[in-house]
């Protein structure tokens, strides 16, 4: 049987979402580990004043592609950008491009989606469900299609505690919802959204569940596979440890904690933190593409791509390792020394928000105002609180995913493929992974230089001295205001001091006697 690189040799692959976090890693891995792949057609839209071509050219200059660039400087010749806006009818692909794609594509990887937790339902439906439907229609016209791999999320069914590798009945028939929402104005859709999403936390997980159903409806006509990653984090091994390029999921939390801004968050210390490295997800995705095309399973196989059931790690442990990692490798210009704690108690969290977020922000903004500058810290905290609030649902609960298909797939690979497309998370060493993840946020998200670490440490020492000075001044202030002015407070104070003194004298005397 063909190995994975042999299978992809000479194949034309269509990828949506190639400019995104996971899409980029998929493109890089395919080019590096399957060097004989024929062409990668990537659907890209112009964005933020940049043309499609400019965006793709910028993407290929990214550090992520350094390894493949070294091994094959002409790698970019295999990438064929196709202009496409997925929210438009026909995905706004030109007739000529449709003809080209239907004539040559062998495998489709559908990664594009809106992953925002606050996306209005209409837009989330348009991109995550309707675009998936349109892509499936396009796939049906492809004369040489061998596999269609859809990237979903392990949280599509987060309203359940135990999640099997099956497609659950959708909360509503997608076609009916699409028809109803079409004629409603945005205000009405916004009003009925909470009723529609029911026990799911956001429109993202809701529309991803609907998308799975849309994919399932085509399983008789197409050879489909569904990948359900949990919380996708920085790379574990490839192309280099710790690669990450965004603030999504835990990355933003880690950075905010490393900068000393975030001091408290609601999370369950003992709940499993189901993080999965991006390279693991991509290796599994490529292997699933190979398996779907070569073995042609009768129904769509779902792969829960998770770590919790195999190599569990908990939020409390993550907190510990993130904090110690940022103390060893501090971020530049931290607001305060990194010292964040998670708690599952609402009131304790609110207390620390007041004391450790709002109060310092108020003081800092006051300082900025006095220096004639614009206050900014309270605004930053308000945005941070909004983001954290949206994540807390996922950090406060436990889920149990069955990942038998992941194990089954591993068993199907040759020893060589198992090494090249490693998704065996039993080998993952969490403390080492978290250390590389934190360093990755510093290097690749914040573009900070590792050579600046001594200066960053010096800055943390300065912050520690400021804290000591501030605390001393606070004690003196309290003394002046509350103790020096009241006879009773003074009496209590003298009583406490004399008690301490007596204890000290007693211990000194007893230690002299024993000597």
Ligand X SMILES: CCCCCCCCCCCCCCCCCCCC(=O)SCCNC(=O)CCNC(=O)[C@H](O)C(C)(C)COP(=O)(O)OP(=O)(O)OC[C@H]1O[C@@H](n2cnc3c(N)ncnc32)[C@H](O)[C@@H]1OP(=O)(O)O
Which residue from 248, 174, 184, 250 is spatially nearest to 212, judged by alpha carbons? 174
| Contact assessment for residue 96 and residue 59, using Cβ atoms and an 8 Å cutoff | no
- If binding is defined by CB under 6 A, does position 116 make contact with ligand X? yes
- Which of 387, 453, 483, 489 binds ligand X (CB under 6 A)? It is 387
C-alpha to C-alpha distance for 308 and 310, rounded to whole angstroms: 6
C-alpha to C-alpha distance for 108 and 129, rounded to whole angstroms: 16
Q: ω before 239 within 30° of 0 (cis)?
A: yes
Judged by beta carbon, residue 319 or residue 448, the one nearer ligand X is 319
Taking CB within 5 to 8 Å according to partner kind, which of ligand NDP, ligand X, none is near residue 444? none
C-alpha to C-alpha distance for 56 and 92, rounded to whole angstroms: 18
Taking CB within 5 to 8 Å according to partner kind, which of ligand X, ligand NDP, none is near residue 19? ligand NDP
Beta bridge partners of 16: 43, 110
Q: Per CB under 6 A, which region of 128-136, 186-194, 391-399, 422-430 contacts ligand X?
A: 391-399
Distance in Å, CB of 385 to ligand NDP, minimum: 21
- Which of 60, 64, 125, 127 binds ligand NDP (CB under 6 A)? It is 127
Which residue carries 């220096």 as its tokens? 371
Q: Per CB under 6 A, which region of 17-25, 67-75, 95-103, 296-304 contacts ligand NDP?
A: 17-25
Q: Per CB under 6 A, which region of 8-16, 242-250, 343-351, 407-415 contacts ligand X?
A: 242-250
Give the pair of three-digit tokens for residue 259: 């900068």
- If binding is defined by CB under 6 A, does position 335 make contact with ligand NDP? no
- Which of 7, 41, 65, 155 binds ligand X (CB under 6 A)? It is 155
Alpha-carbon dihedral of residues 432, 435, 440, 441, nearest 10 degrees? 140
Give helix then strand counts, H and E, for the chain.
21, 13
Alpha-carbon dihedral of residues 111, 113, 117, 123, nearest 10 degrees? -170
- If binding is defined by CB under 6 A, does position 231 make contact with ligand X? yes
Residue nearest to ligand X (CB): 252
- Which of 8, 109, 315, 444 binds ligand X (CB under 6 A)? It is 315
- Which of 319, 365, 417, 448 binds ligand X (CB under 6 A)? It is 319
- If binding is defined by CB under 6 A, does position 282 make contact with ligand X? no
Return the residues of window 77-96 that contact ligand NDP according to CB under 6 A.
84-87
- Which of 4, 11, 12, 21 binds ligand NDP (CB under 6 A)? It is 21
Judged by beta carbon, residue 33 or residue 203, the one nearer ligand X is 203
- If binding is defined by CB under 6 A, does position 112 make contact with ligand NDP? yes
| Contact assessment for residue 399 and residue 393, using Cβ atoms and an 8 Å cutoff | no
C-alpha to C-alpha distance for 286 and 464, rounded to whole angstroms: 48
Alpha-carbon dihedral of residues 93, 99, 101, 103, nearest 10 degrees? 170
| Contact assessment for residue 189 and residue 122, using Cβ atoms and an 8 Å cutoff | yes
Residues 6+ apart with CB under 8 A from 257: 263, 322, 323, 326, 338, 340
Distance in Å, CB of 223 to ligand X, minimum: 24
- If binding is defined by CB under 6 A, does position 153 make contact with ligand X? yes
Return the residues of window 232-251 that contact ligand NDP according to CB under 6 A.
232, 248-249
Q: Per CB under 6 A, which region of 2-10, 21-29, 460-468, 478-486 contacts ligand NDP?
A: 21-29
Judged by beta carbon, residue 119 or residue 146, the one nearer ligand X is 119
Pair type for strands 39-44 and 12-16:
parallel
| Contact assessment for residue 384 and residue 261, using Cβ atoms and an 8 Å cutoff | yes
Return the residues of window 22-81 that contact ligand NDP according to CB under 6 A.
22-23, 45, 47
Judged by beta carbon, residue 28 or residue 392, the one nearer ligand X is 392
Give the pair of three-digit tokens for residue 287: 């292997």
Q: Per CB under 6 A, which region of 161-169, 209-217, 388-396, 451-459 contacts ligand X?
A: 388-396
Longest dimension (CA), the chain: 98
Which residue from 388, 325, 394, 326 is spatially nearest to 352, judged by alpha carbons? 388
Q: Report DSSP state, residue 308.
A: T
**Which residues in this chain contact ligand NDP in the complex, by CB under 6 A?**
17, 19-23, 45, 47, 84-87, 111-115, 127, 151, 153, 208, 229, 231-232, 248-249
The contact set with ligand X (CB under 6 A) reads: 115-118, 153, 155, 231, 247-250, 252-253, 256-257, 262, 265, 267, 315, 318-319, 322, 340, 342, 383, 387, 390-391, 394-395
């Amino acid at each position: 049987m063909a190995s994975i690189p042999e299978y992809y040799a000479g194949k034309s692959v269509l990828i949506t979402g190639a400019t995104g976090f996971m899409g980029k890693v998929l493109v890089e891995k395919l080019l590096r580990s399957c060097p004989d792949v024929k062409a990668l057609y990537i659907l890209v839209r112009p964005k933020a004043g940049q043309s499609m071509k400019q965006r793709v050219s910028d993407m290929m200059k990214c550090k992520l592609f350094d390894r493949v660039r070294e091994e094959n400087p002409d790698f970019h010749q295999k990438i064929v950008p196709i202009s496409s806006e997925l929210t438009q009818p026909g995905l706004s692909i030109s007739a000529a491009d449709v003809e080209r794609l239907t004539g040559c594509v062998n495998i489709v990887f559908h990664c594009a989606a809106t992953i925002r937790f606050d996306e209005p339902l209409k837009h989330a439906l348009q991109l995550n469900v309707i675009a998936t439907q349109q892509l499936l229609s396009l796939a049906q016209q492809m004369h040489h299609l061998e596999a269609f791999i859809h990237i979903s999320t392990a949280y599509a069914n987060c309203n359940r505690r135990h999640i099997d590798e099956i497609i659950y009945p959708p909360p509503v028939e997608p076609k009916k919802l699409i028809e109803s929402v079409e004629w409603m104005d945005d205000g009405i859709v916004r009003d009925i959204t909470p009723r529609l999403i029911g026990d799911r936390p956001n429109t993202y997980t809701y529309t991803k569940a609907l998308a799975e159903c849309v994919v399932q409806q085509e399983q008789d006509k197409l050879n489909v596979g569904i990948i359900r990653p949990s919380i996708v984090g920085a790379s574990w091994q490839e192309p280099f440890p710790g690669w990450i390029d965004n603030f999504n999921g835990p990355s933003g939390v880690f950075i905010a904690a490393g900068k000393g801004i975030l001091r408290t968050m609601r999370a369950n210390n003992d709940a499993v933190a189901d993080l999965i490295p991006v390279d693991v997800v991509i290796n599994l995705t490529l292997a699933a593409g190979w398996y779907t095309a070569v073995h042609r399973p009768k129904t769509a196989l779902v792969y829960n791509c998770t770590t919790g059931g195999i190599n569990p790690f908990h939020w409390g442990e993550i907190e510990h390792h993130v904090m110690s990692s940022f103390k060893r490798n501090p971020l530049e210009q931290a607001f305060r020394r990194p010292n964040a704690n998670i708690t599952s108690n609402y009131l304790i969290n609110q207390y620390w928000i007041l004391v450790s977020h709002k109060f310092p922000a108020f003081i800092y903004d006051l300082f900025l105002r006095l220096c004639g500058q614009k206050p900014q810290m309270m605004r930053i905290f308000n945005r941070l609180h909004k983001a954290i609030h949206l994540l807390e649902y996922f950090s406060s609960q436990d889920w149990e995913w069955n990942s038998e298909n992941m194990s089954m797939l591993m068993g199907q690979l040759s020893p060589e493929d198992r090494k090249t497309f490693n998704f065996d998370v039993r080998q993952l060493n969490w403390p080492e992974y978290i250390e590389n993840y934190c360093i990755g946020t510093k290097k690749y998200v914040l573009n900070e230089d590792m050579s600046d670490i001594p200066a960053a440490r010096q800055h943390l020492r300065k912050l520690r001295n400021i804290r000591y000075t501030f605390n001393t001044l606070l004690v003196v202030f309290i003394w002046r205001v509350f103790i020096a002015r009241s006879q009773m407070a003074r009496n209590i104070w003298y009583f406490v001091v004399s008690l301490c003194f007596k204890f000290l004298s007693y211990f000194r005397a007893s230690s002299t006697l024993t000597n």
